[in-house]
Structure 1
């Protein structure tokens, strides 16, 4: 298998782990990038651009006629989008435009319905808002029309007293965060991100893929990891499996807030501004964004002040997750290091994407990390391929 890109001396273990992901863990097409102290030290890609072109055995050589993954190939990263989206409310807070201790209803009056009048902005960001599901699921068209989602979560009766517990807002996070940002700035979250963050820095990541970028995006799809994964294949706990099998459970309802689930290869889905699930980017763009939070690679400026970086890694939720049915930890918009979602260290903040993708920053080590794949496995928070790469980075350090 051909691996393209570069690795700085001392980070060869990351390349070895990347190769093993294809040879043993069933990757098809993927890329990984790592920045350390603002300097790119890993930038690798391999396999086919489209998941269907990969070998059935996971060899990843592209198959007959498959277009190879290129330096600028981008993919949908599912919930890894949430970590990118979280940059927007934290920058608004940093600029004095958004108070995390204010009620959401002070910016969005309609949200106070359904027992949510005391919900704070920090509750919304930390999955404590109490609306991880909807009594009536939205259609794919309603999910992206810019109106129906916000109206539905505003009218939804809270499933628990906001602020008293947490549960992963898998899909509803899109409309909660989008509407909050719209009310504060007058712009959509994807527009604000492009204008203020990714565009000026040339970062290859979009929440709302522009038409001009569609040709670079590969097709994603589900895959089953091989049984020869050396014990690293994740198996859902029995209680998670039972919760998913129960149509009335919050687990099932949270992930099915859009029914039927959208086609992630549909250009309309990629163009939609769904900050919970529809971000599209390269590994370099994902890692570069997290690196820019700590210290920009071009001129030494930071997106986050040291205080905001500390805030991003501050625990706001921990313990039993009412949706994921495991113990999870969240900061304001970010998933934090835990046994359920291991990152580089307890200082790390970022977000995985169901099926494999992962992005995070580690302020102590000065690391910005991004991994994207077109082969979506049956993992939620700790994909074996992403974890192998994180371990390799840790060993390099």
Structure 2
């Protein structure tokens, strides 16, 4: 066991969450550094952190938690009638309607059904930093399966695709709408485009060598999906693509690509979903119950053609109720490559944010999230 001190506060009744978090960080002896936050019905109940150089305000790479922030923007615009889920993407973005993509709807795009998981030859980090550049290249790319017939994780590009729809419909980038409508007015410390003034709070992502068991899992995960996995995760790029270079790039942080370039702390993750679900500090919830129901319903079931996960997506969000059985079936959010997780559970009113400085293997939500989410739901129901 390590002697890492857990700092921060929990509300009465949530002491068990602190104990579980302490157990988690005690086991992570290779490179500790993590934050955990939670809200219940719009009220903060957990705010914890541990690790050298980490406090509650430290900013870390949010990776694909960014997709959740981006698609809250889309949900808000659908709720307001600016976007129509059943309109073809090409209605908003005419250049998109080539190569068999002309009939793809926004609903199908949000569910990762476009087949447009990358481009031949891959992207450079500089290209991936700029959603406008990514969208322009993707518009002319032939999809990797017939649009609408299957789904697969558009890992590095979904935010650029949906972001271009937002830009065409509103005249504003998705990042601008997010800043003006969600982040700034609700005091959310989760940026899609980190200002230079906040850079001093950022802690770079650090690698953690995989154990032999994790190495075997990495090899197993790489084998079945073959080419689709390589395309979606930009493994064919020349020069080769390194997710650490991407996350630790100031250019990426400054531009805030909506698929994975966000920067946050755990407070920001949990507060973002609290603002959407319940409202914070006396504000009304961003999303109406019927909007949440539409975006969290599983419109299609099956196996992800890229990752092999079953029933992986709703509309823009991951099916957190499938991943964490202690949550309700309509729980929604998105994990991130360094092991992070951010979600909301409409049934209980809980929202959750977990970030860590070391990158997880093989990627996505780290295993300790199961323990932390279970401890949180237990505390909330007692």
More displaced 10-residue stretch of structure 1: 163-172 or 375-384: 375-384
Q: Of residues 1, 5, 9 in structure 2, which corresponds to 1:6? A: 9
Q: Of residues 150, 155, 169 in structure 2, which corresponds to 1:184? A: 169
CA shift for structure 1 position 221: 1.8
Q: TM-score, normalised by structure 2?
A: 0.91
Quickly say closer, same or farther: Cα 1:147–1:82, change in 2 above 3 A: closer
CA shift for structure 1 position 112: 0.5
Match of 2:104 in 1: 119
Match of 1:53 in 2: none
Distance in 1 between residues matched to 2:207 and 2:194, nearest whole Å: 22
CA shift for structure 1 position 340: 5.3
Is the contact made by 1:317 and 1:329 (CA closer than 8 Å) also made in structure 2? no
Confirm whether residue 198 of structure 1 aligns to residue 183 of structure 2.
Answer: yes
Confirm whether residue 296 of structure 1 aligns to residue 274 of structure 2.
Answer: no
Quickly say closer, same or farther: Cα 1:235–1:296, change in 2 above 3 A: farther
Q: TM-score, normalised by structure 1?
A: 0.88
Quickly say closer, same or farther: Cα 1:276–1:119, change in 2 above 3 A: same
Q: Of residues 66, 78, 85 in structure 1, which corresponds to 2:63? A: 78
Q: Of residues 335, 360, 370 in structure 1, which corresponds to 2:343? A: 360
Give CA deviations for 1:339-377 in whole Å, capped at 9, x if unaligned. Answer: 556673322101111231100000000011100111111
Q: Of residues 363, 378, 382 in structure 2, which corresponds to 1:395? A: 378
CA shift for structure 1 position 95: 0.7
Unaligned runs of 5+ in 2: none
Quickly say closer, same or farther: Cα 1:372–1:237, change in 2 above 3 A: closer
Quickly say closer, same or farther: Cα 1:224–1:328, change in 2 above 3 A: farther
Distance in 1 between residues matched to 2:377 and 2:141, nearest whole Å: 43
Distance in 2 between residues matched to 1:273 and 1:177, nearest whole Å: 14
Is the contact made by 2:126 and 2:251 (CA closer than 8 Å) also made in structure 1? no
Match of 1:236 in 2: 217
Distance in 2 between residues matched to 1:237 and 1:146, nearest whole Å: 28
Is the contact made by 1:173 and 1:276 (CA closer than 8 Å) also made in structure 2? yes
The residue matched to 1:368 in structure 2 has which SS? strand
Match of 1:254 in 2: 232
Instruction: Identify the structure with the greater helix proportion.
Output: 2
CA shift for structure 1 position 146: 4.6
The residue matched to 1:133 in structure 2 has which SS? coil
Distance in 2 between residues matched to 1:326 and 1:335, nearest whole Å: 11
Match of 2:43 in 1: 39
Distance in 1 between residues matched to 2:112 and 2:325, nearest whole Å: 19
Is the contact made by 1:128 and 1:317 (CA closer than 8 Å) also made in structure 2? no
Is the contact made by 2:39 and 2:271 (CA closer than 8 Å) also made in structure 1? yes
Quickly say closer, same or farther: Cα 1:234–1:124, change in 2 above 3 A: farther
Q: Of residues 143, 160, 163 in structure 2, which corresponds to 1:175? A: 160
Match of 2:193 in 1: 208
Give CA deviations for 1:247-277 in whole Å, capped at 9, x if unaligned. Answer: xx10111101765234321211211231111
Mapping 1:333-372, distance limit 5 Å: 333-337=316-320, 344-372=327-355
Distance in 1 between residues matched to 2:216 and 2:295, nearest whole Å: 30
Distance in 1 between residues matched to 2:286 and 2:258, nearest whole Å: 19
Unaligned runs of 5+ in 1: 48-61, 63-67
Confirm whether residue 269 of structure 1 aligns to residue 252 of structure 2.
Answer: yes
Distance in 1 between residues matched to 2:145 and 2:73, nearest whole Å: 27
Quickly say closer, same or farther: Cα 1:318–1:343, change in 2 above 3 A: farther
Distance in 2 between residues matched to 1:131 and 1:342, nearest whole Å: 31
Distance in 1 between residues matched to 2:317 and 2:59, nearest whole Å: 22
Is the contact made by 1:349 and 1:362 (CA closer than 8 Å) also made in structure 2? yes
Distance in 1 between residues matched to 2:360 and 2:375, nearest whole Å: 20
Give CA deviations for 1:152-200 in whole Å, capped at 9, x if unaligned. Answer: 1111112222111100000121321221111111111111101011101
Match of 2:145 in 1: 160
Quickly say closer, same or farther: Cα 1:382–1:286, change in 2 above 3 A: closer
The residue matched to 2:311 in structure 1 has which SS? strand
